[in-house]
A and B are shown apart, each in its own frame.
Chain A
Amino acid sequence: MITFMNNSDSEEEPCNERTSLMSAESPPVPSYQDGLQASGGGEAQAHRKRRTGSSRSPNNIADGEMSDSGVPVRGSALENEEEELTLKYGAKHVIMLFVPVTLCMIVVVATIKSVRFYTEKNGQLIYTPFSEDTPSVGQRLLNSVLNTIIMISVIVVMTVFLVVLYKYRCYKFIHGWLILSSLMLLFLFTYIYLGEVLKTYNVAMDYPTLFLVIWNFGAVGMICIHWKGPLQLQQAYLIMISALMALVFIKYLPEWSAWVILGAISIYDLMAVLCPKGPLRMLVETAQERNEPIFPALIYSSAMMWTVGMAKPDTAARGPSQETWDAAEDGGDNHGSSSHAESQMSETRSPVPTRPITSLEELEEEERGVKLGLGDFIFYSVLVGKAAATASGDWNTTLACFVAILIGLCLTLLLLAVFKKALPALPISITFGLVFYFSTDNLVRPFMDTLASHQLYI
């Protein structure tokens, strides 16, 4: 999910809460009231017309807004001020989300292309018990659909479980779960990853050095994610974790299942966030009622919120516990599979919990950022990674999927600015990505190959 500042979406098993976009529902902060309504702009620019009577003020980041510098504070309606600020930050926030998504995808694609390990089929997760090595097409299709159903139901169960835990305030349990999850992710997966990379490049490394490196990496990661740390470092860790998770997915999900799962996940995301009884929506609303940030652990926050002076101690304390939610959720299973990892991943910045509830003036200083769930990162990267791994058109297809996902993200942010509430980040991007992948692979590739062989240019 993409959320604005305050409400982060939780991560869903692999992608539940994480994949919804949420506009931060913060307590009304006058300066951040977004009174705009996006008009039908292109995806490139979100133009908004002023909308009178803005609702609650989410610090939505309007995307694609102009990068005005120095917005003059208007003496006029509060809405105008908020509009200005939102506009001011709009395009910048889109870019702030572009960069990490791009980085994550680059890491995944680079690994896929170079390390052979991740494209070998060495078995499947227990979530996808049906094999795809069947001779007939129909059987294979059936197997992949069954795999998808199992995976999605696992995700749904985990999400509901998480929501229930949240509702009944079992923070400790969630906390522990999250920590366990992130531990496993940071240490085990990194170890495997490093091992494979070293194997590929034929670099010898002795165990003590390896132990030292991994220990440092993991310890700093745990601290950064679950406690405090510099923003850049935390973002970097989140990106790395997302990439690791995506790599695991790419390796262990069979071909057709992966594509069907991607499609099904985006549909599920759509429903979970928008339906009144959807688990993610309930999560968001519960968190809003309690004025807590939702699952800061599971989302990627693009900006830091700092409040001058006042920081509620209890919110700070709650931060880590909320972050551990995801981990807890994920940590449940013993598999280092997706769900766990996903939950772990989003650790937002620890200052985030100290939300702008404190004082309004202080909010002026804040940089509102957009929050994007880590599940979204993971699934985008899975899409692009799968395109890189399995497409015969190689880089063209990968590039096409990459552009498609970025455009989808733009559109989603635009919608976020329009609707100002939590929105699923997956559907549009994944749809574009899937469409482009299949069409590029089957239609564009022969065309470009023929062109290239004759050295024609269009």
Chain B
Amino acid sequence: PALGLFLFTIARDPLRIIILIAGAFFWLVSLLLSSLIWFIAVKASDPQDEPLQKGLLIFGVMFSVLLQEAFRFLYYKLLRKAIEGLVALSEDGCSPISIQQMAYVAGVGFGLMSGAFSMINLLADSLGPGTVGIHGDSQLYFLTSAFMTMVLIFLHTFWGIVFFHGCEHQRWWEIAAVVIMHLAVSGSTFCNPLYVGSLVPSYLMMATAAAWAYMLSGGSAQNLRRFLLCK
């Protein structure tokens, strides 16, 4: 689905592609920094201590989430400056791409990158021989991973929209809500392999975020109805 999003909405416009790649880059940098922190923490601690390692992992995840959001904010700042430049350069005084479109594309960029990093090794391994969950792990590993990744990509997209909107209109609670949601989603994955605990809340949150982003983008129940009925 994310690929479909990409093909239909982004691939047409070169500017969007650039924003997308830049968004992916920012996510990558945030991942890099967070893994650096985690790595240092792990090296500095005792590798034999299981609970400590688990705790460190949790700490790493949380820290990474915070860093991702921080980078999203940085990216927002960058895009603001870019919009001003583009407006100055365009001949009719308005930017060829609006901040909302940018928010969408940035969200997709983040999402694609995080999804790719989560899924791609899995996909590569799945091409090879083997049985899923032979050691007593869940047999649904691949399936749930796929769903989780998809939901995460969508979530990133929606969070991008909401986040940028919050920054635009100085509504700090929106930004805080995004951060909290992200933390919650990541936290819910700690319940794995009890998939009910992680997938269901994630999908619920995705639905919430989708509705929120839709509202923010100017949609409403009427629009939705008209669209669905093809008026």
Residues of A within 8 A of B (CB): 36, 39-50, 64-68, 71-72, 74, 83-84, 87, 91-92, 94-95, 98, 393-396, 399-400, 403-404, 406-407, 410, 436, 439-440, 442-444, 446-448, 450-452, 454-458
Are A448 and B186 closer than 8 Å at their CB atoms? no
Instruction: Name the residue among A43, A400, A404 with the largest chain B CB count within 10 angstroms.
Output: A400
- Residue in A42, A67, A403, A450 whose CB lies within 8 Å of B57: A450
- The verdict on A396 contacting B120 (CB below 8 Å), with A443-B32, A451-B57, A458-B61 known, is yes
Are B82 and A455 closer than 8 Å at their CB atoms? no
Are A456 and B17 closer than 8 Å at their CB atoms? no
Are B25 and A68 closer than 8 Å at their CB atoms? no
Are A396 and B89 closer than 8 Å at their CB atoms? no
What is the distance, in angstroms, from B97's C-beta to the closest C-beta of chain A?
7
24 A–B pairs (Cβ distance < 8 Å), ordered by A = A40-B81, A42-B81, A44-B15, A44-B82, A46-B85, A47-B88, A50-B89, A66-B86, A66-B90, A72-B91, A91-B15, A399-B116, A403-B21, A407-B21, A410-B22, A443-B32, A443-B39, A444-B35, A446-B35, A446-B39, A447-B31, A455-B141, A457-B118, A457-B185
What is the distance, in angstroms, from A422's C-beta to the closest C-beta of chain B?
23
How many chain B residues touch A (CB < 8 A): the figure is 60
Assembled-state Cα–Cα distance A72/B18 (Å): 25
Residues of A within 8 A of B31 (CB): 444, 447, 458
- The verdict on A448 contacting B22 (CB below 8 Å), with A91-B15, A439-B36 known, is no
- Residue in A36, A72, A442 whose CB lies within 8 Å of B89: A36
Assembled-state Cα–Cα distance A410/B18 (Å): 8
Residue-wise, chain B 93-126 has the 8 Å CB interface mask toward A (1 for contact) of 0011100000000000000011011101110100
Are A396 and B121 closer than 8 Å at their CB atoms? yes
Instruction: Name the residue among B39, B149, B190 with the largest chain A CB count within 10 angstroms.
Output: B39
Assembled-state Cα–Cα distance A399/B84 (Å): 31
Residues of B within 8 A of A47 (CB): 81-82, 84-86, 88-89
Residues of A within 8 A of B189 (CB): 455-457
Residues of B within 8 A of A436 (CB): 28, 32
Assembled-state Cα–Cα distance A446/B116 (Å): 16
Are A407 and B22 closer than 8 Å at their CB atoms? yes
Main secondary structure, interface of B, reads helix
Residue-wise, chain B 2-41 has the 8 Å CB interface mask toward A (1 for contact) of 0000000000011101110110110010011011101100
Residues of B within 8 A of A407 (CB): 21-22, 25
Are A67 and B14 closer than 8 Å at their CB atoms? yes
What is the distance, in angstroms, from B114's C-beta to the closest C-beta of chain A?
7
What is the distance, in angstroms, from B208's C-beta to the closest C-beta of chain A?
18
Verify if B192 is at the interface (C-beta below 8 Å from A): yes
Residue of A nearest to B148 (CB): A457
Assembled-state Cα–Cα distance A326/B128 (Å): 43
